[in-house]
Amino acid sequence: MATPFVQGRLRKEPLSFVIKTECNHCGKAITIEINTEMNYKILRGPTNPLVFAPFVDFDKLTDPSIIDAF
Ligand SMILES: [Zn+2]
């Protein structure tokens, strides 16, 4: 979810991304728009979806990317 924030800052231009996913519990479609300012808007689906954000201990991270630590 940090991709538009990082890409927008690197390119020095405002960007927005649309994520299309679904609830793992009931299968309902969820569409979320996120922009360079880390603002998000729920375009489709529940108004208060639960979002999973894994914690990564950067002091102990030895993997080449945080993706590998997930
Ligand atoms: Zn659901």
The Cα 2–Cα 54 span in angstroms is 13
CA of 51 to the centre of ligand 1 (A): 12
CA of 46 to the centre of ligand 1 (A): 8
Task: Report the chain's terminal Cα–Cα distance, integer Å.
Answer: 14
CA of 14 to the centre of ligand 1 (A): 31
Domain ranges of the chain: 2-69
Whole-number CA gyration radius for the chain: 14
Alpha helices, DSSP H, located in 1-70: 3-11, 66-69
**Average pLDDT of 33-60?**
81
The Cα 1–Cα 67 span in angstroms is 12
**Average pLDDT of 30-45?**
89
Over the chain, what is the mean pLDDT?
Answer: 81
Helix, strand counts (H, E) of the chain: 2, 3
